[in-house]
Amino acid sequence: MLTKENFRGIWAGIPVAWDNDENVDVATYRDDVAACCRIKVAGVYTGGTTGEFYAQEFDEFCMITDITIEICKSAGVPVMIGCTSNCTRSVIKRARYAVEKGADAIQVALPFWLEVPDQCIVGFFKDIADAIGRIPISIYCAGKRMKKNLSPEQLIEIHQKVPSVFHIKGINVPDEPEKACNQLSKYFNVFVGEHLLARLGRCGAIGSCSSFVYQNPRILLHMQKLLFEQRWNELDIWCEKIRRIVFEGLKPVIDKGCQDSAIDKMLGRSAGFLKTSLHCRKPYPSCNERDLEQFRFWLKSHYPEFLIL
């Protein structure tokens, strides 16, 4: 059972491998999950934006869930399955399936088509918890994608009324993130972006659902060690490198419209750790081989250590 004491560290937020016809490339996806397990990440997570949950039919969700849980359980690595959908019934259907198959946690964002009214938010999470028992629930604070930013006060109310919700991914309080993290970390295990691990680790953040861990696992697992040991000055250096990679190295593909999953697949391929294709399901844009080569050239010119596994 994941608890506040062990639901922490660097988790691999792994993308789904698609073939040229946009079907699940089962062999490649199995290999990529197994590769993340072999490096002994704190956990493996799929079904978020990186895992393109929004582009999956239910049978595909089941297939991906089955593969992920099977491989992680064989390796003794905790696994979290994202179960976000656009109504409570659909979320519960996915969550029950994941829990029955052996998921250690599920992650859910608020439904993202219509804005969920304030008076319905606690009930949404309570209904899910009632359906799956004591399995930990992580809230994906996905910002504008949810049409609503949950305030620290709303998140704390959810935790107080639904105690199995004690993990959050992201803090959408751009004006005062340190204050919010200090407040929320008293109730939640707070996961943040890799470039924020030092800044918000000082305020209680304790991990990340990471794409850089399969860009270069050696570096990210070293950052995990620095985080746990609170060696902030050393961690600052690595966080600044990742910040520059995100806001400078990846800027060309961001400018052309590529988003989370497309970028994360390119990260995983850049040093050769993941074998996934670069394809995302249409209509969402994908990076291409030229983008990949240009990004590798940027890394070689600025941070070649990220190309050495």
What pLDDT digit, counting tens, does each position of 234-251 carry? 999 999 999 999 999 999
108 domain residue, yes or no:
yes
87 domain residue, yes or no:
yes
153 domain residue, yes or no:
yes
Which among 295, 217, 297 has a CA at the least distance from the CA of 258? 295
Tell me which H or E stretch contains 208: strand 207-210
Triad 34, 95, 87: Cα angle to 5°: 130
Query: What pLDDT is stored for residue 149 in this prediction?
Result: 87
Secondary structure of residue 96 in the 3-state scheme: helix
Residues of the chain with pLDDT under 50: none
Alpha helix (H) residue ranges in the chain: 26-38, 58-75, 88-101, 118-132, 152-161, 177-184, 197-201, 217-228, 232-244, 251-255, 260-270, 289-302
Q: How far is the C-alpha of 124 from the C-alpha of 177, rounded, in Å? A: 25
How far, in whole angstroms, is CA 159 from its chain's centroid? Answer: 20
Query: What pLDDT is stored for residue 309 in this prediction?
Result: 84
Angle between helices 152-161 and 118-132 (to 10 degrees): 40
- Is residue 238 within 8 Å of residue 178, measured between CB atoms? no
Residues spanned by the domain of 17: 9-229
72 domain residue, yes or no:
yes
User: CB atoms < 10 A from the CB of 89, how many?
Assistant: 10
- Is residue 111 within 8 Å of residue 141, measured between CB atoms? no
User: CB atoms < 10 A from the CB of 134, how many?
Assistant: 9
Which among 54, 227, 264 has a CA at the least distance from the CA of 142? 54
Any idea what the CATH number is for the domain that residue 202 is in? 3.20.20.70
Triad 261, 190, 85: Cα angle to 5°: 45
156 domain residue, yes or no:
yes
Q: In this structure, what token pair is assigned to residue 280? A: 């995302």
263 domain residue, yes or no:
no
Query: What pLDDT is stored for residue 89 in this prediction?
Result: 98
85 domain residue, yes or no:
yes
Instruction: State the total domains in the chain.
Output: 1
Query: What pLDDT is stored for residue 238 in this prediction?
Result: 98
Q: How far is the C-alpha of 230 from the C-alpha of 224, rounded, in Å? A: 10
Query: What pLDDT is stored for residue 148 in this prediction?
Result: 85
pLDDT in tens, 111-150: 989 999 999 999 999 999 999 999 999 999 987 777 888 9
pTM of the complete model: 0.96
258 domain residue, yes or no:
no
